[in-house]
Amino acid sequence: MYKYSQPINQVEVFKVNDQTYEKEEFKTSYAQNLSPTMIEKVMEWVKTQNGATFTSNRSNTTFTLVILDDKLNVRIPKGGIKYVNPEGVKRYLATGEYNKQHQTYEPSVGEYIKKNCPFLSNNKVLNDTREVQTLKTEHFNHPDVLPLTQTVQPQPIASSQPTNDTKEASKPFVFIIDEINRGEISKIFGELFFSIDPGYRGESGRVKTQYQNMITDKNDPFYEGFYVPENVYIIGTMNDIDRSVESMDFAMRRRFAWKEIKANENTGMLDSFGGLKNEIISKMNRLNNAIWNEETNEGIEGLSAAYHIGGAYFKKLELYDYENNLPEAYRQLWENHLRGVLFEYLRGSFNAADNLKKLEEVYYSKGRYE
């Protein structure tokens, strides 16, 4: 395998089109000429040196390539070792500033450096002007990336232990949107409709919003476009049988994982009733089995388990004097809360009055729905 015996920036003479250039002259004339093969060789040399330091012409700041887990990473002076993605590299080279928002757990900067650093060896001769222009077009390189003029000192391999910054970058952040389907979904999400898609998360999925011109601070993480970080989670709650709510189309639905919360899975809120809790749950289950029994697939035609009455309704017993007069509290719960919603469930259906009467009887007494 080819290896460099000396740092590439110590090579003082370059040849292009059979013409010899001194190093400084070459920088100004053919700094953009590069070859994938030669870049690969430079990267191999970096590996043998445990790192190499380079500088930015414009901002005169330095960065170091180091090897971790056989991948190239960038050591940036501010804050020690940072793992940055290509967008972070470009911004750093242009401004000399580093934002932790550019940090990532999977160092992808190596591929960017390979494609964009203008390295050229003294034994590489470009055949003609066309080849030069082709290399410029196919292998764009950032104008700030040029080798240091002083001798490169080997850099130690960095520790792979996560820093506080990397831990912070992985910390999950959660948005909870209650009754998400009560609003107009397209207006609520806007550009988020695109950005929350798993395939477009992170900086690579940046989009320009209508508010882009309001961001003037170059250090703002959204200066170059809006995106949703991969560690942001959106949780929406909804009752999809409610009327007068927006339905979610399939495009929006596929952007979420769906979890059905059944009525009997949400009884923790009834703990405040103490020893009465089990009796209340028994009454709730009896009523729900009459609405629709999931085990036997029997119940009122047109209804389903989605119409089950949850613990939130039965918690309303606290509004009444259940401790001193439980039967009266049950009656008021039925008349003031349950009867109305069940009537709406049955409105317009066949035998609505009879079915409502049936549910009332089940609610008040034990029977085959126990």
Q: What is the predicted pLDDT for the residue at 41?
A: 52
Is it the case that residue 113 has pLDDT exceeding 90?
no
Q: Is residue 82 part of a domain?
A: yes
- Residue 208 maps to a domain: yes
Neighbours of 346 (CB within 10 A): 20
Same-domain check for residues 273 and 238: no
Q: What is the pLDDT of residues 174-214, one digit of tens each?
A: 989 888 888 777 777 877 788 888 788 888 888 888 778 88
Number of H helices and E strands in the chain, helices first, is: 14, 10
Tokens found for residue 349: 């259906």
Mark whether 211 and 176 lie in a shared domain.
yes
- In this prediction the pTM is 0.48
Residue 240 and residue 313 share a domain: no
**What is the C-alpha to C-alpha distance for residues 106 and 362, in angstroms, rounded to an integer?**
59
Averaged pLDDT for residues 226-244: 83
- Domain count of the fold of the chain: 3
Same domain, 202 and 269: no
Q: How far apart (Å, rounded) are the C-alpha atoms in residues 114 and 37?
A: 10
- Residue 232: φ, ψ to 5°: -100, 130
Q: Is residue 165 pLDDT above 60, yes or no?
A: no
Are 143 and 44 contained in the same domain?
A: yes
Task: Say if 59 falls within a structural domain.
Answer: yes
Instruction: Say how far apart CA 203 and CA 91 lie, in whole Å.
Output: 12
Residue 289 or 64, more confident: 289
Q: Given 213, 232, 253, which residue is the final one in a domain?
A: 253
Q: Please indicate, yes or no, whether residues 134 and 214 belong to a single structural domain of this protein.
A: no
| Segment 323-327 mean pLDDT | 93
pLDDT tens profile 19-38: 444 444 433 333 334 344 54
Domain co-membership, 270 together with 243: no
Regarding whether 139 and 16 lie in a shared domain, the answer is: yes
Residue 167 lies in a domain: no
Q: Identify the pLDDT of residue 274.
A: 92
Do 21 and 141 share a domain, yes or no? yes
Q: Does residue 152 sit within a domain?
A: no
The helix (run of H) or strand (run of E) holding residue 343 is helix 339-346
Same domain, 72 and 138: yes
Confidence category of residue 366, pLDDT binned at 50, 70, 90: low
Q: Which domain holds residue 34?
A: 8-147
Whether 27 and 134 share a structural domain: yes
134 within a domain of the structure (yes/no): yes
Residue 290 has pLDDT above 50, yes or no: yes
